[in-house]
Amino acid sequence: MATGRVLYTDPAWLVEEGTWSRERATVEREVLGPGVELRFGPYENGRYLVDSPAMHQAAAGCEVLVVYRTQVTEELLDAAGDGLRVVVRQGVGVDNLNADLLAARGIPAYNVPDYCVDEVAAHTSALALALERQLIPQHRTLTGGTFDIYAGGTPHRTNRRTLGIVGFGRIGRAVARRLGSFYGETRVYDPYLGRDLAEGYGARAVDTLEELLAESDLVTLHCPLTPETERLMDADALRAMKPGAFLVNAARGKLVDPEALGKALEQEWIAGAALDVFFPENPHHDPRWEPVLRHPRAVVTSHRAFLSEEAEASSRRRVAELVRAALDGRVDGHPGRVLGQGAGR
């Protein structure tokens, strides 16, 4: 029987229709069993207090931390103490894990790298096609009382257009397969992959981001957030896009400069943008996003491209199994290891 203490810092799945209840941790209790003390981060007024003394108190003495959107910090690790064995990210992106800090302390970290590929590919396709077919202006116009086939502008035939994919990992490839079927051509920019892989997906690899931006009618981002990709889409990159092109971001908010995007929409450097992710997480917490949020050619969702009943159930079970393996000392070699002692990024 597994024993130990685990803190889930900010699990979204404990909250349903605004109410938080630890009783929802059914899968976790079933997988971990009665010998494991299950703790949850402090939740007040509709949000987790992610960087608070109460969170640090909850972490004290834990062997495993499971983080969702909480940033791993020195204070959090210090609060957990020397018994901390593993940090697990409940999700795909690992930018909040603080890789250098964990590597320096020799604490291995794991994620669930593939639980929502289907969902993100579907969500990205929905965002892209909403832009191409001007669904949001159409919906607003008709529900506002006016029947007008031209509201939002006249679309272009997607088969004459070129799709551009930045980052050709699990999600980028699924997007090529699905969304790519609507487009005449697909370009891929991923500096860490050989160029032949793209051809296996009916796409063509390009050598530079500039080339991809110059050739694509819809650019969709599927690279991780790293020091190299932060503000990848700044004013220069947005200006380098075609004037009739769209931008889709369902990867990470920090890939796009909010002020530059606001300007790009207002001054029509590009024709529209669809975003599932922002920095900060809630764009209403940063006024720089306001011009984007109220722009008629923007489509936005609340960081939920990953979400489906099936994906949530799978990620919860897989994370709980990882936690149990870590408490049993069997976690080495478990798939999903993202970094460990000396491994860096």
Contact positions toward ligand NAI, by CB under 6 A?
92-93, 113, 116, 120, 166-172, 189-193, 222-225, 228-229, 250-252, 276-277, 303, 305-306
Can 285 be counted among the known catalytic residues? Answer: no
How many whole angstroms separate alpha carbon 302 and alpha carbon 288? 17
Q: How far is residue 137's CA from residue 262's CA, in Å, rounded to a whole number?
A: 18
Q: Is 166 helix (H, G, I), strand (E, B) or coil?
A: strand
> Minimal CB distance to ligand NAI: which residue?
169
Query: Where would I find the beta strands (DSSP E) of 13-147?
Result: 15-16, 19-20, 36-40, 43-44, 47-48, 64-67, 86-89, 109-110
Nearer to ligand NAI, 48 or 168 (CB): 168
Q: In the complex with ligand NAI, which residue's Cβ is closer, 4 or 113?
A: 113
Q: How far is the CB of 265 from ligand NAI (least distance, A)?
A: 21
Decide if 303 is catalytic: yes
Is 69 catalytic? The answer is: no
Considering beta carbons, is residue 136 or 171 the nearer one to ligand NAI?
171
- Residues 241, 68: Cα–Cα separation, whole Å: 33
Report yes or no: 320 and 27 within 8 Å, Cβ to Cβ. Answer: yes
Catalytic member of 39, 89, 252, 318:
252
CB of 303 to ligand NAI, least distance (A): 6
Say which residues have a Cβ less than 8 Å from residue 137's Cβ, sequence separation at least 6.
151, 152, 153, 296, 297
CB of 307 to ligand NAI, least distance (A): 7
Smallest distance, ligand NAI to C-beta of residue 138, A: 25
Strands 43-44, 47-48: parallel, antiparallel or unpaired by DSSP? antiparallel
The one catalytic residue in 281, 310, 330, 345 is 281
Positions marked active-site: 252, 281, 303
